Structure 1
Amino acid sequence: MTIFGSARVSPATNLYQDAEQIGAELAKLGFTVMTGGGPRIMDAANKEAYEMGGYSVGCNIVLPVEQKPNPYLHKWIYIPYFFVRKVILIKYSYAFVVMPGGIGTLDELFEALTLVQNKIINSFPIVIYDSKYHKELWHHIQMMSKNESKTPEEMKMLFVTDSVEDLIEHIKKYSIKKVGLKKEPYKSKW
């Protein structure tokens, strides 16, 4: 399960706490929580997955500032190119959670949408978290659908919510049940 989000959100915010809760709930379901491996939203999701006994992975981009592996990763890799990072974050996931973020987060969202639209990856759920933050983006995506740039089937895989509980239920329905995933306990190789 990949969680995309900002490297700049303060740990004192509700958004950071929501990312922690999402990481914890996904770990309880048996998912490996994968992020960009950096600070803030990524750190929050990895931390709670790690502390819940789940597996936590980071795909760290090599940047001159901000981006170093957070301390809650069982495994991480350094990647020098954004496009390679996106491939890895998308290829090994059964659903995507898009938290508030910047241009990089939007790039990751639209990469996932493009790959689903062109049937390069399975039609896994894409959850956009925080309707207020993403209000204009969601409006634009709906306008694209009305203008037939996105099909009704593609729109079904997008889900916008402000509720961690609803996010988890959506993932259960459209990822776990749809693909027949079974929970297996994480077993450390160390």
Structure 2
Amino acid sequence: MKARSKLARPLETERFILEPMGPIRFMIETREIRRDPEILAGLFQTSKPRSAWKWARTMSLPDNRTKFAFSITPKSGGRSIGFHKVKMRGYRSAFNSVAIGDREWWGKGVVLEVRAKLMNHFFSCSDVERFYGVVEARNTASIFNYRRLGYDHVGSWHRSNQNPQTGEVVDFLNFEIFKDKWMAGPWAEKNDDA
């Protein structure tokens, strides 16, 4: 297994600086996100604001060993617009999730750019061979992002949860991509600066 200390380091994309966060910084920088009903529902939480205690319990705080969180800050200046998490789970697998709290950046390719950089980084600097994600079936923006990055839809969980805002029963879709497919695709960085 490659050393995981390399994983929690600052990274740059064309437009963003990705800073690794520890648990305290994560709690501080996500204060506004944990009060946003639309984002909370997208993270399979609740439509009601989360106290710091409940947020810490349900969001799996970063430890920079198996659970990582990166703050997303525009290079043009300003404060963090959201975060992207990577959690090592199972055999050489990593689960990813993202929340963009600044609505000015919604629909502007942030998730694609940031997720591609983090996937390249983790494939290059760790023993991860597979990334996967789960998304509510009606979250078309997330489905589009997974498909655009080359993920395969590998299954569905029918009637598996209830939308916290509407009470409607919802399906979830499962996506995954393996390292060899990623490295053969258009998003792969052939020489990560690890």
TM norm structure 1: 0.34
Structure that is richer in strand per residue: 2
Structure that is richer in helix per residue: 1
TM norm structure 2: 0.33
